[in-house]
């Protein structure tokens, strides 16, 4: 699998509930980039043990602190006593464990509390697997997200800034802040770098970078034209995420998620109002229509 990956990088491809784990095992400082969602912690621990062939993990680096990227931090910290390195911007929120600012409350997602040892600096060079990587800004999906760039090998760890087919929801816009322009700038930066290989936060690593970039450029233009599109995506995405974890959600639970969590975001409320009945119906129908779920006794069931 992933025959075009440099030999010193392993990508544990995980899906949508958990981000990929990118492992640098043969190194002085065995490191993993991103740790998945909390409910997958046991699998993350086991997969990492295999990838590291029993060596202890020395360091976790997070591209950003969303629950599906940092959810395994606490567990791995406990098991390995490893260092945790986080992007700049949310250190105070982690210190105080402010689940509102860390996005876990507004999304109704869980993340076990962890501590950090170090904060990345934008523009700095770090060593990963015996090679140098640049820490680059990646605003858009998350204002504080970073990407990691290996100029020698032309490899980009793009987090949720660029996937093979799109990128993550533009969260700052949901909170009534700017995000479309930042995502555009991040895509421009990736175009300039012209990576040979992209390792995304979700999905398989890919080399069809030009095609992915043109899809992403078209998509950000389309989203920026009408903010409702980003909100619609967010509602579907966040309910689908919750459903992946819960496997079954009665209708009231879907409505509750929308009412008590998602609608607390002023960027969402501003666009769709607060009439949650029709909204709940709409989200449920959408998820069934795209085949992400089926309806069973008025409950959504994950496919």
In terms of CB distance, is 206 or 241 closer to Zn ion? 241
Distance CA(180)–CA(162), nearest Å, equals 14
Pick the stretch among 9-17, 161-169, 267-275, 276-284 that binds Zn ion (CB under 5 A): 161-169
| Inter-residue contact 158 to 20 (CB < 8 Å) | no
- Total residues in contact with Zn ion, by rule CB under 5 A: 3
Based on the shown chain and the rule CB under 5 A, indicate whether residue 144 belongs to the binding site for Zn ion. Answer: no
In terms of CB distance, is 77 or 158 closer to Zn ion? 158
Contact letters (x/-) for Zn ion, 163-192, by CB under 5 A? -----x------------------------
Based on the shown chain and the rule CB under 5 A, indicate whether residue 66 belongs to the binding site for Zn ion. Answer: yes
If you write DSSP's letter for every residue of 77-89 in order, what string do you get? HHHH--EEEE-TT
- Quote the least distance from Cβ 117 to Zn ion, whole Å: 22
Based on the shown chain and the rule CB under 5 A, indicate whether residue 40 belongs to the binding site for Zn ion. Answer: no
Integer angstrom CA distances of residue 75 from 22, 35, 37, 78, 225: 17, 9, 11, 5, 42
In terms of CB distance, is 99 or 153 closer to Zn ion? 99
In terms of CB distance, is 45 or 160 closer to Zn ion? 160
Based on the shown chain and the rule CB under 5 A, indicate whether residue 160 belongs to the binding site for Zn ion. Answer: yes
What is the binding site for Zn ion (CB under 5 A)? 66, 160, 168
């Amino acid at each position: 699998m992933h025959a075009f990956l440099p030999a010193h990088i392993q990508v544990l491809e995980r899906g949508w509930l958990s981000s990929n784990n990118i492992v640098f095992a043969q190194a002085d400082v065995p490191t993993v980039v991103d740790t998945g969602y909390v409910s997958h912690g046991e699998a993350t621990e086991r997969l990492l043990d295999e990838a590291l062939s029993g060596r202890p993990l020395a360091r976790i680096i997070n591209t950003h602190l969303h629950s599906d990227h940092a959810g395994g931090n606490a567990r791995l910290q406990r098991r390995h006593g490893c260092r945790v390195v986080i992007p700049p911007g949310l250190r105070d929120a982690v210190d105080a464990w402010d689940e509102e600012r860390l996005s876990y409350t507004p999304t109704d997602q869980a993340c076990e509390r962890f501590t950090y040892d170090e904060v990345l600096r934008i523009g700095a060079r770090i060593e990963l697997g015996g090679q140098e990587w640049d820490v680059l800004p990646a605003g858009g999906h998350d204002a504080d997200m970073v990407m990691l760039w290996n100029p020698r090998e032309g490899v980009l760890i793009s987090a949720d800034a660029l996937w093979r087919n799109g990128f993550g929801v533009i969260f700052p816009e949901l909170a009534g802040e700017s995000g479309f322009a930042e995502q555009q700038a991040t895509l421009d930066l990736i175009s300039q770098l012209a990576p040979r290989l992209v390792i995304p936060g979700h999905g398989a690593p890919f080399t069809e970078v030009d095609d992915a970039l043109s899809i992403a450029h078209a998509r950000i233009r389309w989203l920026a034209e009408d903010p409702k599109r980003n909100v619609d995506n967010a509602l579907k995405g966040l309910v689908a995420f919750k459903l992946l974890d819960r496997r079954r959600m009665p209708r009231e639970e879907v409505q509750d998620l929308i009412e008590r969590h998602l609608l607390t975001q002023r960027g969402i409320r501003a666009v769709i109002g607060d009439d949650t009945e029709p909204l709940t119906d709409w989200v449920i129908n959408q998820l069934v229509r795209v085949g992400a779920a089926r309806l069973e006794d008025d409950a959504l069931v994950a496919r």
